[in-house]
């Protein structure tokens, strides 16, 4: 067990109907709120927007709305939001949505106090000094952004997807109302499930600690739980227990908890997958369901024991520690992705196959920014070819 520091200041309000508490929570920060969410017609059509506005107006808050967040939030849209925040001077920012909306709000929260361009934070050229308080109302469980201090945004002009971390971007309060997720189509739910699994897989299969039973078993158990949730939701998309459980697993998949003590580890699943989204605007979960099998196949020979245990503990595959059992584990997760309807290849994700060389450079640049030095051009190209 390596030494670590862990800080998690976000207050969670969990349960069906808890969106009704939004106004009460927001009013503790002031009287003016800026609410950020997806396409206006969409959020109004499924009732999310009206529920949020009703809760805020009941506490007499003055609300400004900012619509239009995409599944991969763009720096261009964030810039618009920052200008609105500077003009309206809200006391609190509210994210009504999933990780893309929450990441947009985080960038706005720090960008409103910065004289330069918000992309400076993503490129490591700017320093965060202050932030507006953030409340999140989670509607798409996937990224853990409701309980971490990371923001990820895309810059379409240069085909880059970058993240940055600062403790000032921790949400003050996150409302987790599972009832809000019932309206998510089953395909989008499946994409979110793949996203959650990618966060659980990243630390689990890529760390180098020779004995980490707590962390490994947490990851194994939570992956199995997501599989169980999807089994229920494929039969009944309105299963309230499955929706609630999936939401809670998502929150803890990538908030820094289970990887405590593992020490440094590479993140090739996201290193590769980020480029898919940067190049082709692929939903993050779909990018991950393509990159996970490829990364596992690439490392098969040197991770036979880990993959064999994964096969046994997550999918119940019988077998000894062997390449055959390890490969069966990879095959099992591919089969599960296909069962829930998410892509496992470039073709299935509708991504063209003619930009691999450019993508290699993009992946390596991400690795450089993340301090990952394990992979070279040949290795990355091999992983990308395994995605085809």
How would you write the chain as a 3-class SS string? Answer: CCCCCCCCCCEEEECCCHHHHHHHHHCCCCCEEEEECCCHHHHHHCCHHHHHHHHHHCCCCEEEEECCCCCCCEHHHHHHHHHHHHHHCCCEEEEEECHHHHHHHHHHHHHCCCCCCCHHHHCCCCCCCCCCCEEEEECCCCCCHHHCCEEEEEEHHHCEEEEEECHHHCCCEEEECHHHHCCCCHHHHHHHHHHHHHHHHHHHHHCCCCCCHHHHHHHHHHHHHHHHHHHHHHHCCCCHHHHHHHHHHHHHHCCCCCCCCCCCCCCHHHHHHHHHHHHHCCCHHHHHHHHHHHHHHHCHHHCHHHHHHHHHHHHCCCCCCCHHHHHHHHHHHHHHHHHHCCCCCCCCCCCCCCCHHHHHHHHHHHHHHCCCCCCCHHHHHHHHHHCC
pLDDT at res. 261: 98
Strand partners, 175: 13, 137
**In the chain, which residues fall in CATH 1.20.1090.10?**
184-386
Residue 47's alpha-carbon distances to 79, 98, 145, 180, in angstroms, are 27, 16, 23, 9
Among 149, 160, 164, 27, smallest CA distance to 91 is for 27
Among 192, 167, 196, smallest CA distance to 180 is for 192
pTM comes to 0.96
pLDDT at res. 89: 98
Other CB atoms within 10 Å distance of the CB of residue 215: 19
Confidence of residue 168 (pLDDT cuts 50, 70, 90): very high
Q: What are phi and psi of 2, to 5 degrees?
A: -80, 160
pLDDT at res. 94: 98
Percent with pLDDT over 90 in the chain: 99
Per-residue model confidence as pLDDT tens digits over 261-312: 999 999 999 999 999 999 999 999 999 999 999 999 999 999 999 999 999 9
pLDDT at res. 137: 98
Close Cβ partners of 168 (under 8 Å, ≥ 6 residues apart): 109, 110, 128, 130, 131, 149
Confidence of residue 38 (pLDDT cuts 50, 70, 90): very high
Per-residue model confidence as pLDDT tens digits over 94-148: 999 999 999 999 999 999 999 999 999 999 999 999 999 999 999 999 999 999 9
Close Cβ partners of 87 (under 8 Å, ≥ 6 residues apart): none
pLDDT at res. 376: 97
Query: According to the CATH classification, is domain 184-386 in 1.20.1090.10?
Result: yes
- CATH T-level topology, domain 11-180: Rossmann fold (3.40.50)
Confidence of residue 187 (pLDDT cuts 50, 70, 90): very high
Find the mean pLDDT for residues 321-330. 98
Find the mean pLDDT for residues 76-91. 98
**In the chain, which residues fall in CATH 3.40.50.1970?**
11-180
Close Cβ partners of 195 (under 8 Å, ≥ 6 residues apart): 99, 142, 143, 284, 285, 288
């Amino acid at each position: 067990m390596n030494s670590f520091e862990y800080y998690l200041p976000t207050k969670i309000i969990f349960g069906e109907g808890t969106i009704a508490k939004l106004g009460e929570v927001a009013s503790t920060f002031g009287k003016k709120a800026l609410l950020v969410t997806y396409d206006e017609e969409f959020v109004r059509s499924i009732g999310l927007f009206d529920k949020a506005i009703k809760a805020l107006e009941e506490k007499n808050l003055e609300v400004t709305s900012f619509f239009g967040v995409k599944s991969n939030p763009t720096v261009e849209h964030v810039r618009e939001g920052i200008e609105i925040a500077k003009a309206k001077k809200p006391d609190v920012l509210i994210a009504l949505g999933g990780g893309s909306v929450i990441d947009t709000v985080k960038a706005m929260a720090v960008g409103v106090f910065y004289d330069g361009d918000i992309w400076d934070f993503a490129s490591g050229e700017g320093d965060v000094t202050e932030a507006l308080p953030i409340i999140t109302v989670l509607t798409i469980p996937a990224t853990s952004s409701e309980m971490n201090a990371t923001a990820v945004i895309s810059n379409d002009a240069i085909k880059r997807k970058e993240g940055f971390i600062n403790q000032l971007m921790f949400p003050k309060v996150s409302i987790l109302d599972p009832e809000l997720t019932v309206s998510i189509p089953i395909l989008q739910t499946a994409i979110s499930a793949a996203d959650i699994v990618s966060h659980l897989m990243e630390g689990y299969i890529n760390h180098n600690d020779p004995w980490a039973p707590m962390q490994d078993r947490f990851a194994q158990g939570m992956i199995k739980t997501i599989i169980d949730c999807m089994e229920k939701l494929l039969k009944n998309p309105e299963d309230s227990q499955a929706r609630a459980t999936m939401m809670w697993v998502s929150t803890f998949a990538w908030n820094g908890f289970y990887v405590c003590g593992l020490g440094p580890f590479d993140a090739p699943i996201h290193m590769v997958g980020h480029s898919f989204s940067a190049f082709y605007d692929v939903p993050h979960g779909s990018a991950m369901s393509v990159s996970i099998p490829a990364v596992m196949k690439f490392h098969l020979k040197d991770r036979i024991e880990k993959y064999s245990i994964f096969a046994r503990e997550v999918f119940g595959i019988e077998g000894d520690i062997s390449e055959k059992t390890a490969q069966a584990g990879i095959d099992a997760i591919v089969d599960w992705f296909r069962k829930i309807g998410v892509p496992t290849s470039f073709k299935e994700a509708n991504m063209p196959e003619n930009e691999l060389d450019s993508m290699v450079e993009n992946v390596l640049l991400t690795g450089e920014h993340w301090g990952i030095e394990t992979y070279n051009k040949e290795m990355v190209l091999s992983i990308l070819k395994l995605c085809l």
